[in-house]
Structure 1
Amino acid sequence: MEHLMQHAVTTIRERFWEPLTLDDLAQSVMVSKYHFLRVFSRVTGVTPGRFLSAVRLQEAKRLLLSTSLNVADVSARVGYSSTGSFTRRFTESVGLSPTQYRKLSLGACSETREPTLSEAASAASVPVPVARSTGSVTGVLRTTGAELSNAYVGAFDGAILQGIPASWSNASAPGHFTLARIPTGTWYIHAVAQGRHPDSATDLDLTLLMATVGPVQVEGDTGRPLNITLSPMDWTRPPILSALMGIDPQPTAA
């Protein structure tokens, strides 16, 4: 069944601007929509609808960085019929409005780039958690077959790395990390980094590495540290949307 789910992901990435429905995707792999929904969610960690939304918004990020299209045109290009709905969804998922995202990305230099962590956090006016009860998460970052520089670790409210983290930190991999002042509740811990294979002679061969652990219940100090191993992104992972993790946009190709 996994190869059928890979075909469905390819369909999403190649036809994301179309009004794809659950029935359309299930029919593309010739299984019932209920079975498709169950298996797709198990393989990718998210529903087909959320995966499709993430792919659309990732393409919107790319268009905002690489073209002069206005927000309404970007919205239409990625399959939204309402610019207002697109703007709300983009802002919730990226942590910045489309206009803020483009302005920061084009800001201080002529070369387009993803906003830095501090720039994006400042523009988003990231709130300090106001929950009466907070906790912390500690752990160890590891990787296999890659040399890393800096990594980012954050506590997010879902399996897709989107929106504003409740807590985040710079870290090294391999190395330890601590996420402090996380409101009591259920969270997903996402880690991302740029890695280079030890045999590579140049930093031009950097690849995006990531890992997700969750759901994690935070109630005070979590006790046992989390062991997180970063690995290259593959077809099962939805795009990274949050601009608050300091990672460049990923290509939308399968």
Structure 2
Amino acid sequence: MMDSIQITQISDLHLGSDKDATLAGVNTLDSFKAVLNALNDQGRGDDLLLLSGDLSGESSAEAYVLLNQLLLEKGKQVIWLPGNHDDSELMQKGLINFPPSAVVEMGEWGILIVDSSQSGTPIGHISEAQLQHVKIGLEQLAGKAVLIAMHHSPIEVGSRWLDTQKIQNADALYDLLIQHGNVKAVITGHVHQHFDGLWGELILHTTPSSCIQFRQNSDDFALSDQPPGYRWLNLKASGVIETGVEFIAGFDQSPDIQNTGY
């Protein structure tokens, strides 16, 4: 029995179609590489990577090919899921060495991947097909501790402009997740900030972006000067999750905090 499964969640990479692509003045490939380097420095270089959406900032086929090449070179194990800036079909084609996973079983744990994205809007939604996938996945994982991973937050995080983009039909998903009593936590991206709270009876963690952060508790779009970040998780065989957020010290690029949107 494995004592602990180590996972690093990296979210909202916003990679562009080439190595020089930037978002609000930050080279997003550089910032992602800085996160990977930090994992090595902190002894987490062999973690399973969970990339929780917006891997490209513009649904770029080239971005996914670039990411595939980098992850392959680094010898990473990867689970990924789409965000609102992604194109699932292009992801599957570009991330050719990392086929999509819907349900992952590891020791005493199961990871259930949920697609909360919908075409043409930043607002989260769980389709009927995805709700059915969740129902079947939870049945498959009965008896295991379960971690749910998706892109959008199902609840408000305290930023008015972002909170309008939360999952529209979160109650339908919640009703499924609560039935089996074995969902230990839900992790999401999208909000470019860390947040730890409760969704009803479920523990919820959001994760900072690997490039730029949104300013917390803001009514309108606003950037923070926080550096790139990630979330680490230790899934214990007992069903307990240890988790925390790290920001990359010494990253030498700063976002343009005057930026008013993208």
Give the TM-score, by structure 1 length: 0.31
Structure with the larger helix share: 1
- Structure showing greater radius of gyration is 1
Give TM-score, length-normalised by structure 2. Answer: 0.30
